[in-house]
């Protein structure tokens, strides 16, 4: 569940209102030294936490498990997967694997992978689906492990599998309803609530439609102390990360047996690094000026760039003003349901009523932005007047990155299409829909155009 940019620049002089570090985090471990000559005049040094110590052997085992082990559940027969095209056409595509990737937004695999896209693997006569279907995406034309897949439509994929099952008679998959609000934007927590209700009774009424969010960048896991868009989970948790595999054929018994491998997988995720900016190197003087603005205006909420790691800051949804649905609907009953299950045992889950201010490491590669991916570029995050109300994501084209605005090239639309074909629907982002609003986070509006440009230059280097 990539935690895309929920917060970025903060109004003068710092993040307003109840933006506070997580009270249950590890505490201050001292301050890192400032970069000499670049941030002259900035006298407040950051409160940093020590970098996590990673077990190299365990991380290597976790990497092998992710790419070679039985991470996911057995989803469908391989023959069915290869013939998904029969749902939408009677004419065999010239390149069926490419057609399947394009329709559902799957990323190309980094290896031959038996002709399957990223996130799928052959297992005898079946296809197994794993975390990388959502947590590996194309960034500026390259598949990047740990980048949220901003093109995937899992709801369409499941719908087509069910249609094919009716056509040819194989057992249809039966996952809980997974709502896709737009490409890469799912109600993954709502799906988790449905899975939890299958495991046992709830302590009270539980929301099974919790709100849309995109998948977080895995390389920020080591930077923070709380996880998930609302900061509801501790960074140490791994079982709730495992739970989504229940939707794709794994059983709780499977996951309990594989728990040591998932612990090792988490260790591997702590080693991931953000990809480097692949376009023209930003002007050093602009980067230096942007660093000053960032450190003066942003770091009361966001991790200071001088820190390897910092406490996660939670900002009340009323303060940040972004779409409230995701935070508002994950309340005490939802937390109690998870905490009472095997997946939540021993961890400090809580309802926060807030959104977490993410680390901005590699933020350029995590477009689109805000927790629900409603803003295509960082330029729009910093200037709310540049946020389109309706826009179409540019499919799987390899020229879809905007290095000036820092984010996705999109087609701005005057209105949402009326009754588009099912496969076209999720390519259009409609910010008027509940849970998909692009309002709030207006802190960057207080900056001058020159300051915004400099901050963008700086963020390209993170």
Q: Which two tokens stand for residue 174?
A: 């039966």
Nearest-angstrom CA–CA distance, 160 and 139: 26
Q: How far is CA 335 from CA 192, 198, 199, 340, 439, in A?
A: 11, 16, 15, 9, 27
pLDDT at 45: 78
Provide the pLDDT for residue 165: 92
Per-residue pLDDT, 75: 77
Cβ atoms of 441 and 321 closer than 8 Å = yes
Helix (H, G, I), strand (E, B) or coil at 294: helix
Which DSSP string do the residues of 42-92 spell out, in sequence order? --PPP--BPPPPP-HHHHHHHHHHHHHS--SEEEEEHHHHHTGGGGT-SS-
Sign of the dihedral defined by the CA atoms of residues 24, 349, 190, 169, in that order: positive
Query: What is the secondary structure of 216-246 as a DSSP string?
Result: PPGGGGGG-SEESTT--EETT--HHHHHGGG
Q: What is the largest CA-CA distance in the chain?
A: 70
- pLDDT confidence of residue 4: 34
* 391 φψ region: left (φ > 0), alpha (ψ -120 to 50), beta (else): beta
Residue 44 has a pLDDT of 64
Containing 402, the helix (H) or strand (E) segment is: strand 401-402
User: Cβ neighbours of residue 95 under 8 Å, at least 6 residues apart?
Assistant: none
Predicted pLDDT of residue 171: 81
Domain ranges of the chain: 19-459
Low-confidence ranges of the chain (pLDDT < 50): 1-20, 23-43
Cα–Cα distance between 71 and 189 in angstroms, integer? Answer: 20
């Amino acid at each position: 569940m990539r935690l895309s940019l929920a917060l970025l620049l903060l109004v003068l002089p710092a993040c307003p209102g109840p933006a506070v570090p997580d009270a249950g985090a590890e505490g201050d471990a001292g301050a890192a030294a400032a970069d000499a000559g670049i941030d002259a005049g900035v006298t407040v040094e950051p409160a940093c936490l020590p970098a996590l110590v990673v077990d190299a052997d365990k991380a290597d085992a976790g990497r092998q498990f992710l790419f070679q082990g039985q991470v996911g559940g057995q989803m469908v027969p391989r023959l069915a997967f290869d013939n998904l095209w029969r749902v939408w056409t009677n004419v065999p595509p010239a390149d069926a694997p490419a057609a399947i990737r394009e329709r559902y937004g799957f990323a190309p695999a980094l290896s031959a992978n038996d002709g399957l896209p990223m996130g799928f693997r052959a297992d005898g006569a079946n296809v197994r689906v794993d975390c990388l279907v959502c947590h590996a995406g194309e960034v500026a034309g390259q598949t990047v492990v740990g980048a949220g897949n901003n093109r995937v439509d899992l709801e369409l994929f499941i719908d087509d599998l069910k249609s094919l099952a009716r056509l040819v008679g194989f057992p249809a998959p039966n996952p809980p309803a997974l709502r896709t609000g737009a490409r890469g934007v799912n109600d993954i927590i709502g799906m988790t609530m449905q899975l939890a209700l299958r495991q046992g009774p709830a302590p009270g009424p539980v929301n099974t439609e919790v709100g849309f969010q995109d998948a977080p960048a895995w390389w920020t896991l080591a930077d923070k102390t709380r996880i998930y868009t609302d900061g509801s989970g501790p960074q140490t948790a791994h079982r709730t990360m495992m739970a989504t595999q229940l939707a794709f054929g794994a059983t709780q018994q499977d996951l309990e047996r594989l728990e040591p491998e998932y612990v090792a997988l988490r260790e591997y995720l702590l080693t991931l690094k953000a990809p480097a900016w692949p376009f023209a190197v930003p002007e050093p003087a602009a980067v230096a000026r942007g660093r000053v603005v960032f450190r003066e205006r942003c770091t009361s909420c966001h991790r200071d760039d001088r820190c390897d790691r910092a406490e996660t800051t939670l900002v009340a949804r009323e303060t940040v003003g972004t779409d409230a649905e995701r935070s508002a609907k994950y309340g005490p009953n939802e937390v109690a349901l998870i905490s009472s299950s095997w997946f939540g045992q021993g961890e400090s889950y809580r309802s926060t009523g807030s959104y977490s201010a993410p680390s901005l490491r590699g933020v350029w590669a995590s477009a689109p932005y805000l927790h629900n991916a409603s803003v295509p570029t960082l330029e729009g995050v910093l200037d709310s007047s540049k946020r389109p109300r309706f826009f179409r994501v540019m499919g799987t084209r390899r020229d879809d990155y905007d290095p000036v605005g820092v984010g996705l090239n999109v087609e701005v639309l005057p209105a949402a299409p009326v009754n588009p074909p099912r496969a076209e629907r999720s390519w259009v982002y409609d910010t008027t829909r509940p849970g998909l609003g692009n309002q709030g986070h207006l802190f960057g509006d207080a900056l001058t155009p020159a300051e915004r440009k400099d901050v963008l230059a700086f963020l390209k280097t993170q």
